[in-house]
Structure 1
Amino acid sequence: MRGRKYAVTLLGAVAAVVVTIGLWPVYVRPLVDRPGPADAILVLGGAHDGREQLGLRLARDGYAPRVLFSDPYEYSARMNRICHGGYSFEVICFDPSPRTTRGEGRELARRAEAQNWRRVIVVTFTPHISRARYILGKCWSGEILFVDAAPALSVGRWAYDFVYQSAGYAKAFVEDC
């Protein structure tokens, strides 16, 4: 009995290591693109971890004439300032439906098709990039460049995101856009 318990524990530990190593490039070292001229910049909702500032900076640097901010928050003073600030470029804030990456992909597709966009820069954070690329790619066939807001994450946050993003991938796999 004791040997069986040890074997199950060892097998579980080995499986956890294999899964972590296998998912490492997906969540920790995802494909990140260099920003280039685009029709719009889309800042995905989530933690206020620098992504909003990066989206605004990219627009100020001339990469796109407009920034779309996903604003699924009930009320956020920060988003209110961003959405109503005076900028030399267009700022569009929207509440995605549903309030998920899928809803953001639907909004991207709707606006891109209506305005004939060909390329969009998307700003999010490291563990979300691969899953966002998969979901937004299901919604819109245009070129999407992903840039990383690159916040510093704790070990606990990395562990949480391994689980959260994996569950999100499983859900996205069975859903259409």
Structure 2
Amino acid sequence: MLRRVTRVVLRATLGVQGETRGFYLRFLGLAGYDRAMRLMVRGLVVAVAFVLGVWVMLWPVYVRPVVDEPLVADAILVLGGAHDGREELGLSLAAAGYAPRVLISDPYEYSGLVNRICHGGYSFEVVCFDPSPRTTLGEGRALRSFGANWSRVIVVTFTPHISRARHVLGECWSGELLFVDVGRELTPWRWAYDYVYQSAGYVKGAFVEC
């Protein structure tokens, strides 16, 4: 009789222990999942804060760069990139009497627009050149070659490129640079792209001399 009672008590005890063990395992599983979620949310918050911090820090560099009022210059340099009206702006400035010549960076395999500009008849000189390398650095080297006896040049490009172009061209040529913004409208995705692209250009430029 005593043995039977002992077995019953033992079975009951083991059953309770098993249920308790299962409860703890389930609890630990939920606790682990909850901890992982908290870490994930925390990491996401840190990442978003970092991106926003970088965006704000670089805002005056890419979004609100220093632009200049055009003055009479020796030449107008139109930097390569999208055909967003920069070529037309450069030509209109020359037509308005700001410079006797326009330099058009032509790093394209073929562009009907640039081809027409390069062979058009104007009251001022138009010089099209293929920079080497086909980057802002190549354009800076071309400016150094063309502008050995110049003192002031108007440069036409788009907003996110202005600060870096000012830095690169300033390393290549010692004259006065006046930057004019073509005023191109950019999508949020394009802004994000140019934040990365222009920043990478700064890093790359740190290891290359003009």
Could you say which TM-score interval applies, normalised by the shorter chain?
Answer: over 0.9
- Correspondences of 1:161-172 after superposition (within 5 Å): 161-172=194-205
The match for 1:69 is 104
- TM-score relative to the length of structure 2: 0.82
1:36 to partner: Cα distance:
0.1
| Whole-Å separation in 2 of the counterparts to 1:85 and 1:97 | 24
From 171, 176, 179, give the equivalent of 1:138.
Answer: 171
Question: Any stretches of 5+ residues in structure 2 without a counterpart?
Answer: 1-35
- Percent sequence identity over aligned pairs: 66
List 4+ stretches of structure 1 deviating above 3 A: none
- Select the structure that is richer in helix: 2
1:2 to partner: Cα distance:
2.9
The match for 2:28 is none
| Whole-Å separation in 2 of the counterparts to 1:156 and 1:11 | 21
The match for 2:95 is 60
Question: Any stretches of 5+ residues in structure 1 without a counterpart?
Answer: none
The match for 2:181 is 148
Structure of higher RCO (CA pairs closer than 8 Å, 6+ residues apart): 1
1:8 to partner: Cα distance:
1.7
1:5 to partner: Cα distance:
2.2
| Whole-Å separation in 2 of the counterparts to 1:142 and 1:170 | 24
| Whole-Å separation in 1 of the counterparts to 2:185 and 2:75 | 26
2:101 partner letter: R
Structure 2 SS opposite 1:30: coil
Please report the RMSD computed on the Cα atoms of aligned residues, expressed in angstroms: 0.8
Deviations 1:27-84 (A, max 9, x none): 1100000000100000000000010000000000000000000000001110110000
Query: What number of residue pairs does the alignment pair up?
Result: 175
